[in-house]
Structure 1
Amino acid sequence: MRAQTLPAVTRRLLVGLDVLVAGLLTVAVLRPADSARPWATLLAAAAFAALYATGRATIRVHEAPLDADRGRWWPAGAWIAALIVVWTILLQVSDGALWLAFPLMLLQMHVLGPRRAVLAVVVTTVVAGVDGMLQRAPADASVAPALGPAVGAAVAVAVTLGLEALVRESQERLRMLEELARARDDVAAAEREAAVATERERLAREIHDTLAQGYSAIELLLRAAERTVGHDETRARAYIDQARTTAQENLAEARRFVRALAPADLDGATLVAALHRIADRTQAAAATSPGADHEPRHTAPGSLMVRVQTSGEPRALPLQVEAALVRIAQSALANVVQHAAARHSTLTLSYLPDEVILDVVDDGRGFDQDRQPPPDRTGGFGLTAMRSRVRELGGSLTIETSPDDGTAVAVRLPAHDEDVRDQAPTTRPTQHQEDR
């Protein structure tokens, strides 16, 4: 298990302990027992301060794990013993040095640990009690001078033990949460792997039962045609025609596989029509969902208006390009609904001779790219997925935004018609869809 070090709050408490020691040491210097020998008090206080500072600099108390074997003789035990000796000398020359007993007990508990610090706390309590009783007149038989250090020792032990128990409990909870997160990630990864394996098995069966069988038939037909060439031209031509027909059927099967893996919005529709579907669906979702960052909407239902515009002559594009543009449009509009608090958003699809450009612009709150992460970083994968898709297709993605000035996402992808004539769907949008 990971070492349990003291948290930041305990480090700050140790700094407060340093300040307390410095303040009480000043009181000890200002209240010497013998005003005729102030130099002795000053010398003893200086020795205590130097020893304390040296130990705090070399013995990193806040870096010691809670479950470590703390309080060994060297150097921690030797340092605490030296502090007790110098403090005892300081008690002989200053009445105010008695107040150093409590912070000294707290330090002993932190440095030596709950088990080994008990002896040091007892010694400190006895020295403080005896000194307190000796400072009073012999006729005064009160036990108050001895009772005060004893109460201080009990408080110091209780505070340290309670604090370290809270630290252990919080760190145990943190460890359990980390283990739970790792287990959740493992389960998710296993589910993804199982889904991928299932899909691969399904595709393997489909390919084996269709494409592989078709290719085998083509190979057999061509062999038969090769054997009859020069002997029976009619039969050879018949074999070749059968091979061509089988190849066309296999090509149709291959196209079906490709289309089955494409976004549902592209099923039997053009890219422009698919974007219109996404726009309609986004408007409907915005009308019934909470506002940006899950705050309640303060506008009327359906206030987000999404428009689709085209520039240039629409044409068939490579299926992978159309699929990427559909996914990017979906992700960008999802960010508009969840984070932008926008009233209007526009999708503009521009067809150029060698590339296609998709712009998604909204009039929402925007964000400062230099000071805060993109909206999807808090719990999504949107911009990362966009960049990955664009990079795989050799395109570029640009984001322009500023606080209270909306956001514009521009995607440029290459488009070569000769690569997609046999892949892209041929359905064209109706006049109503084009004019929408």
Structure 2
Amino acid sequence: MPTSRTLTWCLHLLVVGLLALAAVRAVVAGDPRAELVLSVTAVCGTVYAVGPLLPHIRRSRRAAAGWLTVVGAAWLGLLVLTADGVWIAFPLYFLQLHLLTRRGGLAAVTVTALAAITAFTAHQGSFSPAVAIGPALGAAVAVAVVWGYQALYRESEQRRHLIEELTTTRADLADAQHTAGVLAERERLAREIHDTLAQGLSSIQLLLHAAERAVPAPARKAVHYVVQARQAAADNLAEARRLVAALTPPALENASLAGALERLCTTTSACHPITARFHLVGNPTPLQTPHEVALLRIAQSAVANTVRHADATVAEVHLNYLGDHVELDILDNGTGFDLDRLPDPDPEDGGFGLAAMRSRAHALGGTLTVESTAGQGTTLTARLPLDRPAGTERETEPEVRR
């Protein structure tokens, strides 16, 4: 930090200036020990100058304590020779508080202040409160300044970390919103393709196959063109189904519907204060992709509503394969609600309301029912017919008699 470097250089200049002041005053005053004062001042300055050049001083508390001990010993030697050495105690306070631990720095400052007061008293020949005020006040100011600066620095670091976390969170939220939008659009496209293009091509193929069988013998030449048209419809139908499969939700890409529902329960239990359990009843039957997508989305919506609104502690998800239909039940032990007082759909709620679930079920020829009583939990049941998987139209083509 530029501010920290500036303060460090100011401290260096203060030490050099005070040492120079002690040496100059000894020479100007004609002190008989002036040469000795100059020598001790040079030693003290040299020891002090070596410290910042050693990389271990800032990395190791022990190395810093050793260096400060040598500096303190040289300072005590200067203090014995001249009273002007007392002023060097002030920068020593800052060094001790900065390089040592909080407790160790306070102890070192206390010892330094007592040594300065004792030496100054010895040079004055008598003790008075005025002698103690200078070193003690300097020590108090140093403690207040250093501890205040450290508190501000810690607060600044906390704010910096908080800003970084907020920035990361905003980026994650933007990515999540983008992903949600992409998934919603993929789902919409898959539903539109299945409900329009794929169904239309399937109907065209069936009708052309029926027309091929119904063409009388004299017009058999037209059969060739009918066969070509039916083949083109079949190829485009296969391509549409591949596109629908590619737009399948990620939860169903590498797992079955049962696996996706079980993972939904596991994730819900891990992320929210609710226990979600999955149960599979019957022998799983292959479903068409739109059916699997619809049941998964209904389960996700129902579980999300349970977590957000039901105040429940347990949720049960049952996937039942029952002969000619598949049934999805979501039960909870929450507060329930009055079915006659349902809130209006909220367009900002992402379309996860009961109306959206019911629309999904009805679009595939199924039903969705809700049973709930205030204080007794809620049961949601989605039932879809078990159609044959894609690719079996040939077995279901109508017989057309000639």
Q: Counterpart amino acid of 2:41?
A: A
Match of 2:15 in 1: 21
Alignment of 1:134 onto 2:122:
yes
1:212 is displaced (CA, Å) by 2.8
CA contact (8 A) 2:64 2:100 kept: yes
Alignment of 1:165 onto 2:151:
yes
Q: How does 1:28-67 map to 2 (within 5 A)?
A: 28-32=22-26, 35-59=31-55
More helix by share: 2
Match of 2:223 in 1: 236
1:56 is displaced (CA, Å) by 1.6
1:211 is displaced (CA, Å) by 2.9
Match of 2:80 in 1: 92
Q: TM-score, normalised by structure 1?
A: 0.48
Distance in structure 2 (CA, Å) of the matches to 1:94 and 1:229: 126
Q: Secondary structure at the match of 1:42?
A: helix
Q: How does 1:380-399 map to 2 (within 5 A)?
A: none
1:107 is displaced (CA, Å) by 0.7
Q: Counterpart amino acid of 1:102?
A: F
Shift of the 88–146 alpha-carbon distance from structure 1 to 2, 3 Å rule, reads: same
Q: How does 1:225-374 map to 2 (within 5 A)?
A: 233-236=220-223, 239=226, 243=230
Match of 1:184 in 2: 170
CA contact (8 A) 1:224 1:236 kept: no
Query: Aligned to 2:98, which of 110, 132, 150?
Result: 110
Q: Counterpart amino acid of 1:41?
A: V
Q: Counterpart amino acid of 1:183?
A: T
Match of 1:425 in 2: none
In percent, how many aligned pairs have the same letter? 41
Distance in structure 1 (CA, Å) of the matches to 2:144 and 2:199: 80
CA contact (8 A) 1:224 1:239 kept: no
| Structure 1 unaligned residues grouped into runs of 5+ | 1-6, 65-69, 254-436
Distance in structure 2 (CA, Å) of the matches to 1:241 and 1:217: 16
CA contact (8 A) 1:87 1:97 kept: yes
1:15 is displaced (CA, Å) by 1.4
Task: Output the aligned Cα RMSD.
Answer: 3.3
1:132 is displaced (CA, Å) by 1.0
Match of 1:212 in 2: 198
Count of equivalent residues: 234
CA contact (8 A) 1:25 1:100 kept: yes
CA contact (8 A) 1:34 1:93 kept: no
Q: Counterpart amino acid of 1:176?
A: L
1:171 is displaced (CA, Å) by 1.3
Q: Secondary structure at the match of 1:31?
A: helix
CA contact (8 A) 2:89 2:113 kept: yes
CA contact (8 A) 2:209 2:230 kept: no
Q: Deviations over 1:319-345 (max 9, x none)?
A: xxxxxxxxxxxxxxxxxxxxxxxxxxx
Q: Counterpart amino acid of 1:50?
A: T
Q: Counterpart amino acid of 2:73?
A: V
Q: TM-score, normalised by structure 2?
A: 0.51
1:226 is displaced (CA, Å) by 8.3
Q: Deviations over 1:73-126 (max 9, x none)?
A: x21111111111110001122332221110011111001032211121111101
Distance in structure 2 (CA, Å) of the matches to 1:127 and 1:34: 26
Query: Aligned to 1:152, which of 138, 157, 166?
Result: 138
Distance in structure 2 (CA, Å) of the matches to 1:182 and 1:205: 34
CA contact (8 A) 1:31 1:94 kept: no
